[in-house]
Amino acid sequence: MSHAQRDRVAGFVDRARAYARVVTGGEAPLGELECGAYYLPTLIAGAPQDSEVVQSEIFGPVLVVLPFDTDDEGIALANDTPYGLAASAWSRDVYRTGRATREIRAGCVWINDHIPIISEMPHGGYRASGFGKDMSAYSFEEYTQLKHVMFDNTAVVRKDWHRTVFGDR
């Protein structure tokens, strides 16, 4: 993280203090790490769904916790942002997490984990989280356009197959 990005993350957290509770973290570390571009892992609770800290991609060590009572409500909350880069679902119930992976609109959904990126799998978001995928062979499909090229070096003007297909003589 750069110093500018650390300051951006700190701005999100500082503004969130007006309407949510910073449970832990929420500041740059002191001591020998003070001169670096570090920010303590931060947990925020009690933020409204429509708040900046919920509706933004922060790109820093900030986790906003939103309570929900049903899976339907949790999935609706996860999808109620303009972004969809990544999400994680946590449960011992494989059917519940399977449903979350199908219904949460994000480019990556982790189950009982968060952040591991595997180079053999595509990486990229949905909606305002960007377009296309990077990493993996799948990314070639995103950044290239296929073209069929056929080269005939036989010097035969009229091919037998042409007459069969097009009916000419």
CATH code where residue 62 lies: 3.40.309.10
Per DSSP bridges, beta strands 83-84 and 108-111 are: unpaired
Residue 155 covered by a domain: no
Show the tokens assigned to 25.
């973290």
Q: Give the per-residue pLDDT at 166.
A: 67
In the prediction, which pLDDT does 76 show? Answer: 98
Instruction: Give me the pLDDT at residue 42, please.
Output: 98
Q: Any idea which of 26-40, 63-77, 139-153 has the lowest mean pLDDT? A: 139-153
Among 12, 8, 44, residue whose Cα is nearest residue 25: 44
- Whether residue 146 lies inside any domain: the answer is no
Q: What is the DSSP string of 98-151?
A: HHHHHHS--SEEEES------TTS-B--EETT-SS-BSTTHHHHHH--------
Q: What is the pLDDT of residue 169?
A: 62
Average pLDDT over residues 36-64: 97
Do residues 139 and 122 touch, judged by C-beta distance below 8 A? yes
Residue 148 forms part of a structural domain? no
> Backbone phi, then psi, for 166, in 5-degree steps?
-105, -5
Distance (Å, whole) CA 130 – CA 44:
25
Residue 65: inside a domain:
yes
User: Which range of residues forms the domain containing residue 8?
Assistant: 3-132
Q: Is residue 44 part of a domain?
A: yes
Q: Give how many domains the chain has, as a whole number.
A: 1
Task: Indicate whether 127 belongs to any domain.
Answer: yes
- Please tell me the least confidently modeled range out of 30-34, 77-81, 98-102, 128-132: 128-132
The reply to whether 59 falls in a domain is yes
55 located within any domain: yes
Note the pTM of the prediction, 2 decimals.
0.77
Mean pLDDT to the nearest integer, 159-163? 68
